[in-house]
Structure 1
Amino acid sequence: MIKDLPPNVVKDIAVAVALEGENPESKIWYVYLINLKNVPLENVLVTSKGYGEKDGELVKTSILRHSFPLVEANSYKLIEPIDEQTFGLNNEYWLSYYIGREIFDKKFIFLPESIVDDNFIKLPIVNKPGVMIL
């Protein structure tokens, strides 16, 4: 039962959308998992999907699944490239991982139009401009 699971709280873990580069036609964006902890994450699973309304119609993207056996302490992993055409949708990343024998999970959602220059910071560890959710 869900009530029997320990309330493991996800801290010091972020998902970020980073601007990798740009040319006259478009910008190149990547999504990263950032481990700000001093311990590694094991058996990491991330699912991603986009959903919302565009031009008055409901839109859903494919669900993508990513796994990483290990994300070292104070490091990051590239999850996937992201197309800026999806920035008008909710972009959801559901993360699950283990630390030792304990499991943790958290949902990170970039709301429509939240990935904009006004929200940019210098992403820790990745050292690129982008938007981050802790």
Structure 2
Amino acid sequence: MKKDINIPEVKGVYVAAVKEFNETHRTNDWNAYLVNDTNEPLEMVLIVSKGYNSKQSTSQMRHKLQNLPAKAYAKIEFVEDSVLKLTNEFAVTYFLDGKMYDKKFIFPANSIKDANAGPVPSMLKEGVLAE
């Protein structure tokens, strides 16, 4: 049955970790963003995130965006420093042109760091892109 479902390949959609200054706490924090670098809006976006390794795991966090416009981005969540040592996974499902897309974006353990930062599409900021 599963082989009969055609889920197209995700292109132009990214999950990025971006380091930003938090005015309230006066700290530099990592935040996860969903980036839509396509020319069409994403509809009914569902995101499930979790962190894990062989010995521990975080609770799953669920997020929903009704619409993410073309060439836009939206903050998913703050990434706590203690989970940077874990593999962080963001399972993203959305509709585009009436078709469902699904992809797991993964930040390997210890990959969210300044040394791995580079340009993030559509954001005009530096960050780390998930695999």
Same fold (TM over 0.5): yes
Q: Distance in 2 between matches of 1:101 and 1:122?
A: 30
Deviations 1:66-123 (CA, angstroms, capped at 9, x unpaired)? 0001000010011011112111100000000001321000001100111122211132
Q: Which runs of 4+ in 1 moved over 3 A?
A: none
Answer yes or no: is the 8 Å Cα contact 1:45–1:97 preserved in 2. Answer: yes
Name the residue aligned to 1:18.
18
Letter paired with 1:2: K
In the superposition, relative to structure 1, how do residues 52 and 26 fare at CA in structure 2: closer, same or farther (>3 Å)? farther
Deviation at 1:26, TM superposition (A): 4.8
Amino acid at match of 1:28: D
Structure 2 match to 1:86: 83
- For 1:21, give the aligned amino acid: F
Contact 1:19/1:128 (CA < 8 Å) preserved in 2?
Answer: no
Instruction: Structure 2 unaligned segments of length 5 or more: list them.
Output: none
CA contact (8 A) 1:20 1:128 kept: no
Match of 2:72 in 1: 75
1: CA distance, partners of 2:18 / 2:7: 31
Aligned-residue RMSD, C-alpha: 1.7
Is the Cα contact below 8 Å between 2:41 and 2:67 reproduced in 1?
A: yes
1:3-82 to structure 2, matched below 5 A, reads: 3-21=3-21, 26-53=27-54, 58-82=55-79
Q: Tell me the CA shift for residue 130 of structure 1.
A: 1.2
Aligned residue pairs total: 129
For structure 1, the residue ranges without an aligned partner over 5 or more in a row are none
Q: Distance in 1 between matches of 2:18 and 2:4?
A: 38
1:127 to partner: Cα distance: 2.2
Q: Identity of aligned pairs, percent?
A: 37
